[in-house]
Amino acid sequence: MQKLIKLLFTSILVVVLSSCQTLSVNDFVYMGHPKGLDDYSLYYDTDRNLFLLLDNNGCFYKSSDYSGTCLAFDHQSAESFRKNVLNKMIDINNKAFEPKNKAELLSLLKKMKMPSIEKPINVDFKVKRIKQININNKKEYHLVTGEYDLKAKIILIKETDGNTAKDFKIFFALTLPDAVVKQKTSTRPFIIEPSYLFERMQVSAVEKAESSQNTYYHQVEEISTSIIDYLEHLGA
């Protein structure tokens, strides 16, 4: 019976892994995250040439109550995302803070009792997703086959002075509703900074980040070697 169960588990695992491509964190270049939005980070996978948006609490990970949405973009997809999604968000944000539009929005917000309001943004875009699989008590990132419709929305949050709206902030969120249904996992949306991603989701930014990362690793290695040598000098 135990052999049967082991064989069945192995077969299921093979099916799962065959539908995914393992991503090695050793190939990741850290691209950073926007100030004040540290729940996710941008990486670049140098092996598969992918930009990765990874939620720090996990990617569709079933054992986490706060698991997030993780996305992958090849070069062509990243450029399309920049031009057709991020550009649109940046344009909306810029228009909202033009003096005339900002004054009108503030006037409307003063009449609204709710602290925030959100509205879907029409984007026609598909994206690959990433999930985590726990193998031998180790979390691995896997690129899932297929593409999912990306949904976007704008979130307007008013800042008040007492009960009066004095200003507002704008956030943009990304979700993959179909993936959540298929995964049957409650996940958080990405709250993104469009300008930040627009600047960094391009090859020139990767080259700069990779150079900085290599310099950092080299410095750490040098310092570690010096400390170890000195400890040996002390008889350790």
Which of the four pLDDT bands, split at 50, 70 and 90, describes residue 181?
low
Residue 32: domain span: 2-228
| Complete DSSP assignment for 32-68 | E--TT--SEEEEEETTTTEEEEEETT-BS-TT-TT-B
Of the two residues 183 and 15, the one the predictor is more confident about is 183
Q: What's the pLDDT tens digit per position in 83-105?
A: 999 999 999 999 999 999 999 99
Tokens in use for 65? Answer: 């109550």
Q: Is 83 among the domain residues?
A: yes
Tokens in use for 233? Answer: 């000098």
- pTM reported for the whole predicted model: 0.76
Give the single-character DSSP code of 146: S
Q: What's the pLDDT tens digit per position in 135-165?
A: 777 777 888 888 989 999 999 998 877 666 7
Number of domains in the chain: 1
The pLDDT, as a whole number, for residue 16 is 37
- Alpha helix (H) residue ranges in the chain: 2-18, 75-81, 87-96, 99-111, 177-183, 194-200, 203-233
Q: What's the pLDDT tens digit per position in 16-62?
A: 333 456 777 778 888 888 888 878 889 999 999 999 998 877 776 55
Q: Is 235 among the domain residues?
A: no
Nearest to 51 by CA among 77, 12, 26: 77
Q: Is pLDDT of 6 > 80?
A: no
Q: Is 41 among the domain residues?
A: yes
Q: Is 32 among the domain residues?
A: yes
Q: Is 197 among the domain residues?
A: yes
Given a contact cutoff of 8 angstroms between Cβ atoms, the answer to whether 218 and 59 are in contact is: no
